[in-house]
């Protein structure tokens, strides 16, 4: 009998590991899936490299334990390779989760359900279905622009280095970054390697999939994202793991694809917040991509027109390399930015709410409609109005379970809380005073759509947001309608601002972007700037359409520095100012953060837990260099009946912060038990939203 270490899906406690010891008649290779007994259950775990010398030393003096045998090794599945295991180990360590939790959470869920025979069948089926997948019509390979060609020469030379450093591809919107990804993938595939391409949004995968499929006829391409069925996800994952897929395209979870022949990692729109996982192991797929490239010694390309300030500063200091595409393909010019001072726009009555769109903007859109061009209006708020209120008393449509308003959805005739999902029919009269005239306050995309239709009679208006795209296939159909030109004015949330190559859009307007200027989160300006640059990037992509393209910004703060930089399309200037502010305030990337969150029925319990965690952390000498902020409520403090509090932990040294977190986080489960009433706690390393 041999001893075997098996990682299982269990949290880590002080003195308790997610790596358990079993015995087996056969030695089992690390990375092998195995069914093992756990208490009275039978679970799937992963055989891991266990340090038995250390385990024996720790157990010295205690009576030997009787080990339970492994039930079954899944021999049909080739073991997960060493670099994949190293990535999982790093993720667990860095984001303070147990090894087993990460290892099993990032595998396709189906793998945990099936036994050896069932998996053997899937693997065989995968092999049999290889040929039909490898289809796709060949597409034209455009001649590279001079800038693209120069970038490719540089990137190809760097890719040939034994340990290529990560590279930022800083390219304005429409500069042809995707073409560079395609060419690099071409080179990787020609060298017999696999390429991994990450995109931020599921809704961008079909578009990119088409482009790649068309360029690589006869090659195998699979996608990995959360909208796949469990069976599809398993098949695609297997295809990558068995080394049969040449191209893997996916959202953040695809960073954990097992790729035995990995030769290239691309992270498109690397600044996008959706690369950060928001529960479980709160990893950043962008940062893990960099680590994975380092492990596998393969090039990692981070593409963006508005890089994250972390990436930008790494490129500035030489930690990352950089190539730049400063011009749009085919002389398409970036849109002229027009700041529209909303304070000067007349209102219907002195105390009336501001109009949805200023008359100048309406006229400009009208002109585009008349010319057969498209306009895109974006507003980051869905629903008809964010709140209903009663003018006769003080009633507002608050959510009984959250510190948030319930949003008025006019079409559905409901009030819905976007935080806990509670919904109910719109009341006929004010629940407090019986007044029949309750009114919507503020504006969401649904109301904007209605108002645009009134302001522009005859124009074909389409709204795209999370509400209009719930049914499968609707988003594809709506985007197709925009591409076909049967839409004049597109109204939407940030969903429509990212990545799409709309050829006929010549006017983009940010309807109400001001709130982000004054948000408490220090990353709000960075996010707003990126969003506006990306939105503007949808305009004027086709130089063949005569007349300049425009980006309108309706604001009460036309003099704001952020808008000044936007006017000049000057990301570098914006980044320099922001970085200087971050440096003087000691914020990332000049310091490192972790956020400890707690949820309880009452705020006192949540706060007491956080303070106790802080006191516990302070018993370690590492805490001397670490700053603990006071526990505070997040922007929405109460959700679904639970009070949330969070405590920011900051340190100038990443290594010190990591050491401290590793020391005290394993003690938090015991602390949770001591603080009765705490329902959940979580640690978020490198948090994005604070």
Contacts of range 470-476, beta carbons closer than 8 Å, 24 or more positions apart: 475/203, 476/206
Query: Interacting stretch for ligand ADP, rule CB under 6 A, among 176-184, 256-264, 387-395, 430-438?
Result: 176-184
Whether residue 133 contacts residue 289, with contact meaning beta carbons closer than 8 Å, is answered with no
Peptide bond into 676 cis (omega under 30): no
Nearest 10 degrees: Cα torsion 150, 154, 159, 162: 160
Q: Which of 12, 91, 173, 366 binds ligand ADP (CB under 6 A)?
A: 173
Tokens, residue 226: 């959360």
Task: Tell which residue, 664, 584, 597, 600, has the closest CA to residue 626.
Answer: 664
Instruction: Name which position in 69, 142, 372, 677 contacts ligand ADP (CB under 6 A).
Output: 142
Q: Is 179 in the site for ligand ADP (CB under 6 A)?
A: yes
Taking CB within 5 to 8 Å according to partner kind, which of ligand ADP, Zn ion, none is near residue 435? Answer: Zn ion
Interacting partner of 402 out of ligand ADP, Zn ion, none (Cβ under 5 to 8 A depending on kind):
Zn ion
Q: Is 433 in the site for Zn ion (CB under 5 A)?
A: yes
Options 2-10, 71-79, 167-175, 430-438: segment touching Zn ion (CB under 5 A): 430-438
In whole angstroms, the minimum distance from the beta carbon of 314 to Zn ion comes to: 39
Site for Zn ion (CB under 5 A): which residue of 399, 575, 594, 610? 399
Q: Which residues contact 323 (CB under 8 A, 6 or more apart)?
A: 151, 154, 155, 167, 168, 169, 170
Cβ proximity to ligand ADP: between 173 and 235 the closer is 173
The tokens describing 555, both together, are 């604001």
419 makes contact with Zn ion (CB under 5 A): yes
Residues 6+ apart with CB under 8 A from 495: 201, 203, 464, 465, 466, 469
**Furthest-apart CA atoms within the chain: distance in Å:** 87
Structure tokens at 401: 């379970």
The sheet carrying 414-416 orders its strands as 407-409, 414-416, 423-425
Q: Which is nearer to ligand ADP, 175 or 235 (CB)?
A: 175
Residue closer to Zn ion by CB (options 526, 643) is 643
Using CB under 6 A, pick the residue from 21, 75, 145, 336 that binds ligand ADP: 145
Q: How far is the CB of 571 from ligand ADP (least distance, A)?
A: 13
> How far is residue 384's CA from residue 659's CA, in Å, rounded to a whole number?
48
Estimate to the nearest angstrom the gap between the alpha carbon of 138 and the chain centroid. 31
User: Do residues 340 and 552 lie in contact, with contact meaning Cβ atoms separated by under 8 Å?
Assistant: yes
Q: Which does 144 bind (CB under 5 to 8 A by kind): ligand ADP, Zn ion, none?
A: ligand ADP
d(CA 55, CA 21): 9
- Choosing among Zn ion, ligand ADP, none, which partner's interface includes residue 174 (Cβ < 5 to 8 Å by kind)? ligand ADP
Give the shortest CB-551-to-ligand ADP separation in angstroms: 15
Task: Determine the Cα–Cα distance for residues 666 and 32; give it in Å rounded to an integer.
Answer: 27
**Site for ligand ADP contains 148 (CB under 6 A):** yes
Q: How far apart are CA 599 and CA 679, in angstroms?
A: 6
Query: Binding segment for ligand ADP among 48-56, 143-151, 387-395, 484-492 (CB under 6 A)?
Result: 143-151
Buried b (16+ CB within 10 A) or exposed e, 375-386: bbbbbbbbbbbb
Q: Three-state SS for 606?
A: helix
Rounded least distance, CB 176 to ligand ADP, Å: 3
Compute how many other C-beta atoms are within 10 angstroms of the C-beta atom of residue 421: 11
Q: Which of 178, 205, 374, 549 binds ligand ADP (CB under 6 A)?
A: 178
Interface with Zn ion (CB under 5 A), residue from 214, 333, 362, 392: 392
> Which listed option, ligand ADP, Zn ion, none, makes contact with residue 292 (CB within 5 to 8 Å by class)?
none
**Count of residues interacting with Zn ion (CB under 5 A):** 15
Q: How wide is the angle at C-alpha 273 spanned by C-alphas 268 and 278, nearest 5°?
A: 125
Taking the alpha carbons of 252, 255, 259, 261 in that order, is the dihedral positive or negative?
positive
Nearest Cα residue to 223 out of 193, 200, 191, 245: 245
Residue 313 binds ligand ADP, judged by CB under 6 A: no
Q: Applying CB under 6 A, which of residues 176, 444, 513, 687 lies at the interface with ligand ADP? A: 176
178 binds, among ligand ADP, Zn ion, none (CB under 5 to 8 A by kind): ligand ADP
Give the other-Cβ count within 10 Å of 177's Cβ.
Answer: 24
585 binds, among Zn ion, ligand ADP, none (CB under 5 to 8 A by kind): none
Question: Which segment (52-60, 137-145, 582-590, 628-636) binds ligand ADP by CB under 6 A?
Answer: 137-145
Of the pair 231, 640, the CB lying nearest Zn ion is at: 640
Interface of this chain with ligand ADP, residues 483 to 542, rule: CB under 6 A: 501
Alpha-carbon distance of 197 to 176, in angstroms, equals 16
Among 90, 158, 395, 629, binds Zn ion (CB under 5 A): 395
Total of chain residues touching ligand ADP, rule CB under 6 A: 15
Sole binder of Zn ion in the list 393, 648, 662, 671 (CB under 5 A): 393
Q: Segment near Zn ion (CB under 5 A), from 186-194, 322-330, 418-426, 510-518?
A: 418-426
**Cα 655 from Cα 174, distance rounded (Å):** 39
Residues in contact with ligand ADP by the rule CB under 6 A: 142-145, 148, 171, 173-179, 329, 501
Residues in contact with Zn ion by the rule CB under 5 A: 390, 392-393, 395, 399, 401-402, 417, 419-420, 422, 430, 432-433, 435
């Amino acid at each position: 009998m041999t001893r075997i270490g098996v990682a299982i899906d269990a949290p880590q406690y002080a003195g308790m590991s997610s790596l358990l010891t079993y015995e087996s008649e056969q030695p089992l290779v690390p990375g092998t899936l195995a069914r093992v007994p756990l208490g009275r259950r039978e679970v799937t775990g992963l055989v891991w490299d266990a340090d038995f010398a250390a385990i024996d030393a720790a157990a010295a003096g205690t009576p030997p334990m009787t080990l339970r045998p492994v039930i079954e090794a899944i021999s049909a599945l080739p073991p997960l390779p060493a670099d994949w295991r190293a990535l999982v180990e790093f993720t667990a360590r860095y984001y303070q989760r147990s090894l087993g939790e990460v290892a099993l959470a990032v595998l396709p869920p189906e793998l945990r359900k099936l036994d050896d025979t069932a998996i053997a069948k899937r693997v065989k089926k995968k092999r049999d279905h290889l040929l039909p997948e490898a289809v796709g019509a060949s597409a034209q390979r455009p001649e590279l622009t001079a800038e693209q060609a120069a970038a490719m020469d540089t990137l190809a030379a760097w890719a040939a280095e034994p340990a290529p450093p990560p590279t930022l591809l800083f390219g304005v919107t429409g500069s042809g970054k995707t073409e560079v990804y395609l060419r690099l993938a071409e080179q990787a595939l020609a060298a017999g390697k696999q390429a991994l391409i990450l995109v931020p949004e599921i809704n961008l995968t079909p578009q990119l999939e088409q482009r790649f499929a068309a360029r690589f006829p006869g090659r195998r391409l699979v996608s990995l994202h959360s909208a796949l069925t469990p069976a599809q996800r398993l098949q695609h994952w297997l295809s990558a793991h068995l080394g049969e897929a040449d191209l893997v395209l996916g959202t953040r979870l695809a960073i954990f694809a097992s790729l035995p022949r990995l030769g290239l990692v691309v992270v498109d729109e690397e600044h996008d917040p959706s690369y950060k996982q928001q529960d479980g192991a709160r990893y950043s797929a962008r940062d893990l991509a960099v680590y994975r490239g380092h492990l596998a010694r393969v090039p990692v390309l981070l593409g963006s027109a508005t890089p994250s300030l972390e990436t930008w500063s790494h490129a500035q200091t030489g930690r990352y390399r950089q190539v730049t595409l400063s011009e749009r393909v085919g002389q398409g010019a970036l849109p002229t930015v027009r700041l529209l001072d909303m304070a000067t726009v007349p209102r219907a009555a002195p105390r009336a709410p501001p109009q949805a769109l200023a008359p100048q903007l309406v006229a400009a859109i009208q002109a585009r409609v008349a010319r057969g061009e498209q306009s895109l209006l974006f507003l980051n708020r869905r629903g008809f109005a964010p709140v209903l209120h009663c003018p006769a008393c003080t009633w507002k449509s608050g959510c009984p379970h959250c510190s948030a308003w319930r949003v008025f959805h006019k079409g559905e005739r409901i009030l819905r809380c976007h935080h806990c999902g509670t919904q109910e029919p719109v009341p006929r009269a004010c629940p407090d005073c019986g007044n029949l005239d309750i009114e919507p306050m503020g504006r969401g995309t649904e109301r904007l759509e209605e108002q645009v239709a009134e302001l522009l009679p005859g124009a074909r208006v389409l709204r795209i947001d999370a509400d209009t795209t719930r049914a499968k296939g609707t988003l594809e159909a709506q985007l197709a309608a925009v591409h076909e030109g049967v839409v004049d004015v597109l109204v939407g949330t940030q969903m429509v601002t990212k990545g799409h190559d709309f050829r006929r859009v010549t006017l983009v307007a940010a309807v109400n972007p001001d709130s982000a200027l004054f948000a408490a989160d220090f990353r709000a300006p960075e996010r707003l700037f990126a969003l506006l640059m990306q939105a503007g990037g949808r305009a004027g992509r086709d130089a063949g359409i005569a007349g300049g393209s425009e980006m309108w910004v309706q604001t009460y703060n036309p003099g704001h520095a952020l808008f000044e930089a936007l006017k000049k399309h000057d990301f570098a200037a914006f980044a320099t100012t922001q970085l200087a502010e971050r440096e003087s305030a000691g914020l990332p990337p000049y310091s490192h953060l972790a956020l400890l969150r707690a949820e309880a029925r009452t705020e006192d319990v949540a706060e007491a837990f956080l303070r106790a965690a802080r006191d516990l952390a302070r018993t370690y000498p590492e805490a001397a260099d670490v700053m603990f902020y006071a526990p505070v409520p997040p922007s929405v403090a109460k959700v679904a009946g639970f009070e949330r509090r969070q405590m920011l932990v900051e340190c100038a040294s990443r290594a010190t912060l990591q050491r401290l977190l590793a020391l005290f986080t394993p003690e938090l489960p015991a602390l949770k038990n001591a603080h009765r009433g705490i329902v959940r706690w979580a640690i978020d390393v490198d948090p994005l939203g604070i």
